[in-house]
Structure 1
Amino acid sequence: MEIDYFSAFIIGLMGSGHCIGMCGGITTMFTSSLAKDAKNHPLYVISYHIGRISSYALIGAIAGFTGSLAAKNIGLPITGLKIIAGIFLILLGLYMGQWLMWLTKVEMLGKHLWQYISPFSKKLLPVNNLKQALLLGALWGWLPCGLVYSTLTWSLASGSGKTGALIMMCFGLGTLPALLFLSFGIVQGQQLFKNVRVRKFIALLLIAYGIFTLNIAYRTLF
């Protein structure tokens, strides 16, 4: 089963309603923390998101490399990892539809790491230059998030650090439109991603795609 970068992008795009709810306050705080002469400077916002997506790519590379080591050294089949990725995709759909919130328990694991990272972000406020914006975005990329962790299982099953990084980069690009709407105050775009019916429909699509992924992986394994 080929890893589909476009699918990773679509998952990021479809999960954008969750991004607005999870990262909306952070994005608003970042925009309000810009120095007065940078208030309307889109380069600061873009630098922030470049940093965020770069962190996703780094985490994806680590996961992909780890998955390849597990496959080579302990004989863990990559297809088995892809089954895990399919299961997490279903859990993500249930999570976004608010039917089953098991992914919140996974997010709790990331909070232990986040408590050590978050203090560094305070040292970068207020944001006075592009470097600070880039670094702040890179730090926020490690924020505990069920959407990120679910997609990360794809990187784990990718079989290489490079592929894992590209998967998470495509996912990050998928989350970009909704957060840019938020950053630049485009209300209509935000309302579309936050619409309950739209989110429920997207959740069902994610569950269906997760089942499809499981079916392909299972047939490959057996």
Structure 2
Amino acid sequence: MLEINLFALFMAGLLGGGHCIGMCGGIVTAFSLQLPPGARWPYLLGFNVGRLAGYALIGALLGGLASFATLAALQSLKLILFVLANLLLLVLGWYIAGWSRVLTRVEALGQPIWRRVQPLIRKLLPVHSIWQTPLIGLLWGWIPCGLVYTASLSALASANPVSGAAVMLAFGLGTLPNLLLMGLMAQRLQSLLKKLWVRRMCGLTISALALYQLYLLVRYLA
């Protein structure tokens, strides 16, 4: 049975750092400006623990939703979603490399949900206590993002709530280094990730992982 490659999702999160900076950099900066004076690491950790929990929740919900398919339809559904998830991963690689902008159209699909989430986040700002940060991070996980949608489709393809949560958690852990370091060395990190050769290398790596998984599917069906 083909399974979603957790390593591929982790690498998509890690190598999509340039997209993370573009998508979440403003949010991280806004949160940082809201923080009380003093050490910021505990607050940044709180934000990201909540964000990872939000991703795991999304993955569990999607995996659980797909699991309700009838046994006869489940195998076909998993194969279709597996193909779609890896095609989206392939498009993600092209997007990061600068060869395609199709992913921005996919991100627009999540705007209605984000418009409902934003007022909830505003109610939790400014940050007065570290205990606010996980809840803000939990809501932050719903931001419209092509990387998140790629991982979400993979979670749906798992057709299992536990596997779906694991898929999203693997992706979230991949994004963690970029978003944690963003507050400390954002300018250096952004400068590196803007380099064309870095973007191309990251995009090609993600695309190669997607193509490899599709190759495994062909072998599985043969």
**TM-score relative to the length of structure 1:** 0.91
RMSD (Å), alpha carbons: 1.8
2:96 is the counterpart of 1:66 = no
Q: Is the 8 A contact 1:47 1:134 kept in 2?
A: yes
Alignment match, 1:123: 123
Say whether residues 1:147 and 2:172 are aligned partners: no
**1:64 offset after TM fit, Å?**
1.2
The residue that corresponds to 1:27 in the other structure is 28
Instruction: Identify the residue that residue 54 of structure 1 maps to in structure 2.
Output: 53
Equivalences for 1:97-176 in 2 at 5 Å? 97-176=97-176
Q: Distance in 1 between matches of 2:217 and 2:159?
A: 14
Contact in 2 for aligned 1:92/1:103 (Cα 8 Å): yes
Give how far 1:111 is off: 0.4
1:187 is displaced (CA, Å) by 4.1
Q: How far apart are the structure 2 equivalents of 1:104 and 1:186?
A: 23
The percentage of aligned residue pairs carrying the same residue is 41
**1:126 is paired with a residue of what secondary structure?**
coil
Contact 2:60–2:162 (8 Å) recurs in 1 = yes
Paired with 2:72 and 2:32, the residues of 1 have a C-alpha distance of 46
In 1: Cα distance, 2:71 partner to 2:113 partner: 28
Distance in 2 separating the partners of 1:153 and 1:18: 18
Asked whether the equivalents of residues 18 and 96 of structure 1 are also in contact (C-alpha less than 8 Å), the reply is yes
**CA positional deviation for 1:24:** 0.5
1:93 shift after superposition: 1.0
Deviation at 1:214, TM superposition (A): 1.5
Q: Cα–Cα, structure 1 residues 26 and 186, in superposed 2: closer, same or farther, change >3 Å?
A: closer
In structure 2, the gaps of 5 or more residues are none
**Separation in structure 1 between the aligned mates of residue 21 and residue 156 of structure 2, nearest angstrom:** 26
Q: Does 1:14 align with 2:15?
A: yes
Distance 1:71 1:206, change over 3 A: farther
Taking a change above 3 Å as real, the CA distance of residues 21 and 28 of structure 1, as seen in their structure-2 partners, is same
| Paired residues of 1:65 and 1:161 also in contact (CA < 8 A) | yes
Assess, with a 3 A threshold, how the Cα gap between structure 1 residues 202 and 185 changes in structure 2: closer, same or farther.
Answer: closer
* C-alpha separation in 1, matches of 2:69 and 2:46: 35
Q: What letter is aligned with 2:47?
A: Y
- TM-superposition CA deviations, 1:131-169 (whole Å, max 9, x none): 211111111110000011012121111131101101111
Q: Distance in 2 between matches of 1:61 and 1:41?
A: 30
Partner of 1:104: helix, strand, or coil? helix
Q: How many pairs were matched up?
A: 220
